[in-house]
Structure 1
Amino acid sequence: MKGNKIIGFIAGAFIVVVALYMCGDWHIQSNDEAEKKETYQAVDSLPMLIMQIQKCSKLYTAEYKVHKIVTHDDALRLKGSLLQRQFNLKVPMADRKIAIPMDAKLKAWIDFSQFSEKNVEREDDKITIILPDPKVTMTSSKIDQKNMKQYVAMTRSNFSDEELANYQQQGRAAIIESIPEMGILETAQANAAKVLVPMLVEMGYEEENITVAFRKHYGPKDIQTLIRIDD
C-alpha cells in the first residue's frame, strides 16, 4: 500500500511537471506571437503614414510679403574728345530720377503627392521624414503708383511706360535674387514639422524621436532652381 502511494505521488508530480512545461512552452509561443504582431503593426503603419502625408498634397508652409524701392538715376551726359582728350560731362539741368515702391508676395510650398517609402527612415523607435524639395513661388508683384516719385528736368522727357515696365522687372529680379537671404526655406521646414509631428505622435511615435528635414542644405544656386513665378 505504501509503495502504491509513492508511485502515485511520483506519477502526480510527473504530471504537474509536464503540465508546467507545457504551459511554459505555450507562454513562450504567445510572447513570440505578440512580438510578431507588434512588428507587423509597426511595418503595417508605414502605408497608413504615407497615405496620411500624401493627403497634405500641396502644403503651403510660408508666406512672405516683400517691400522694395527701385531707384534709377538717369543723368544726361556729354561725351566726346577735344584736342585728343576724352571728356564725359554731366549736362546741367538735365536729370531724371525715379523711385518706384514695389510690393511682392512669396509663398513656399511642398508637394506631398509623390511622397513614398523613400521619404521615410526608421531606426528602432526613431523616425525621420525627408521632405520633398520645396518650391518658392512669387504669386504677385505690383507697383505702388500712389507713392511713386520722380523728378524730370524741363529739358528731358518723362519716363515712358516701357521704361517703367523695365524697372519693375529689375525690381522683381532683385527680390528673387534676395530670397536665399530671407530664411524662407527654414520657415517652410519648421512649419511643415508643425503639421507632420502631431500626425506622427497620433500614430504612436514620441515627439523627441521624430525628425523632419530636407534631403540637403540648399545653397543660393539651388534656391534659384526652386523658384516659380505665377503672376
Structure 2
Amino acid sequence: MKNIAYMIFLAILLMSCGDKEKTAAKSYQLDTIPMMVLQIQKTSRLYTTEYHLHKIITHNDVKSITGKIFNQSFHIDLPVGKRKIAIPLDATLKAYVDFSNFTSKNIKKAGKKIEIILPDPHIVLTSTKINHQEVKQYVAITRSNFTDEELTSFENQGRTAIIKDIPSLDMIGIAKENAAKTLIPFIKQMGYAEEDITITFRKQFNLNDIEKLIDKTTIENGK
C-alpha cells in the first residue's frame, strides 16, 4: 500500500510540475509580444530601398505666334532662331518604413505562426543634381542664353517627371523584402522558426496608393 500511495503522490507531483511548466511557457510566449513591439519600435525609421536614377531633361524653345483670323486658328514659328537644351539630372530615391508607432496591432499570432504587418512605407526623393559639365545647349545667335531661373525650372520639371515614374518601379516589393531581412533574424532569436514568420504590408498597394505614399515636399521645397 505504501508503494502504491508513493506512486500516486509522485504522479500527482509530476502532473503539477508539468502544468506549471506549461503555464510558464504560455506566459513566456505571451510576454514575447510586448518585448517584440518594444524592440521593433527601436528600429525607428528603417530605410529599405535606394534607387539612383539618371534622367535627361530636354527643352526645345521656338518663338511663335498663335491666334485666330476669321475663326481660323493659326500657328506661325517666327524666324528668330531656336534654343535647345539637354540637361542630365541625377536623382536619389529612398523608401523607408517608420516603426515609431508600431504596436501589438501590427502583430498577428496563431499557434506557432506569427505575422508582422509593416506600417505603410514612405518614398522620398532625397536629392537631385544637375551635371553642369554635361549640359548641352544650342542657342541661335538671335536668341539669349538660358537663364539660371529657367534652368532651375527645368530641374523642377525633371523632379516631377521622376516622381511620376515611381509607380513603375518595384520599390514597395523591395521595401518589404528588405524589411523582412532585417526583422526575421531578430524574431528567430525570440524562438520562432523562419518558416512560421510572415512579413507583409496591410494590403497590396495599387498605383493610386503608391502616389499617396510619396513624400512630395522635396519637390515643393526644391531640395
State TM-score, norm by structure 2: 0.90
Look up the match of 1:167.
Answer: 154
1:107 aligns with 2:80: no
Residue 6 (structure 2) pairs with residue 15 (structure 1): no
Aligned counterpart for 1:220 among listed residues 207, 215, 218: 207
Q: Which runs of 4+ in 1 moved over 6 A?
A: none
Q: Which amino acid aligns with 1:223?
A: I
Q: 1:126 aligns with which of 101, 105, 113?
A: 113
Does 2:40 match 1:53? yes
Secondary structure of the equivalent of 1:204? coil
TM-superposition CA deviations, 1:157-200 (whole Å, max 9, x none): 22222222111111000101111111112111111111100001
Q: State the partner residue of 1:11.
A: none
TM-score normalised by structure 1 residue count: 0.87
Equivalent of residue 76 in structure 2, options 86, 89, 103: 89
Given the alignment, which residue of 116, 141, 145 partners 1:158? 145
Offset, 1:68:
0.7
User: Which residue matches 1:191?
Assistant: 178
The one of 132, 148, 167 equivalent to 1:145 is 132
How far is the alpha carbon of 1:78 from its aligned partner? 3.7
Structure 1: 5+ residue runs without aligned partners?
1-13
Distance verdict in 2 for CA 1:81–1:195, change over 3 Å: closer
- Equivalents in 2 of 1:218, 1:84: separation in Å? 49
Following TM superposition, by how much is the alpha carbon of 1:126 offset from its aligned partner in structure 2, in angstroms? Answer: 0.7
Instruction: Measure the CA separation in 2 of the matches of 1:193 and 1:85.
Output: 63
User: Partners in 2 of 1:226 and 1:83 — Cα distance?
Assistant: 50
User: Shift of the alpha carbon at 1:90?
Assistant: 2.8
**Structure 2 counterpart of 1:30, one-letter code:** C
The CA distance in 1 between the partners of 2:182 and 2:72, in whole Å, is 69
The one-letter code matched in structure 1 to 2:108 is E
Q: Aligned residue for 2:55?
A: 68
User: SS of 2:198's equivalent?
Assistant: strand
Q: Rate the CA distance shift 1:201–1:147 in 2: closer, same or farther, 3 A.
A: same
Amino acid at match of 1:200: I
Q: Which deviations, in whole Å up to 9, do the C-alpha atoms of 1:120-171 show, x marking residues without a partner?
A: 1111001111111111111111211111111112222222222221111110
Query: Higher Cα Rg: structure 1 or 2?
Result: 1
Residues 4-50 of structure 1, C-alpha deviation per residue, up to 9 Å, x if partnerless? xxxxxxxxxx3322222222222222211111111011011112111
Cα distance in structure 1, aligned partners of 2:3 and 2:72: 121
**Between Structure 1 and Structure 2, how many residues are aligned?**
218
- Report the AA paired with residue 101 of structure 2: Q
CA distance, structure 1, for counterparts of residue 70 and residue 108 of structure 2: 77
What SS class does the counterpart of residue 143 from structure 2 fall into?
coil
169-178 or 24-33, larger mean C-alpha shift: 24-33
Measured in 1, the distance between the counterparts of 2:74 and 2:28 equals: 83
The letter for the 2-side match of 1:176 is: I
Residues 1:116 and 2:103 are matched in the alignment: yes
In structure 2, list runs of 5 or more residues that go unmatched: none
Distance in structure 2 (CA, Å) of the matches to 1:84 and 1:134? 53
Matched residue of 2:180: which SS?
Answer: helix
Name the CA distance, whole Å, in 2 between partners of 1:31 and 1:125.
Answer: 20
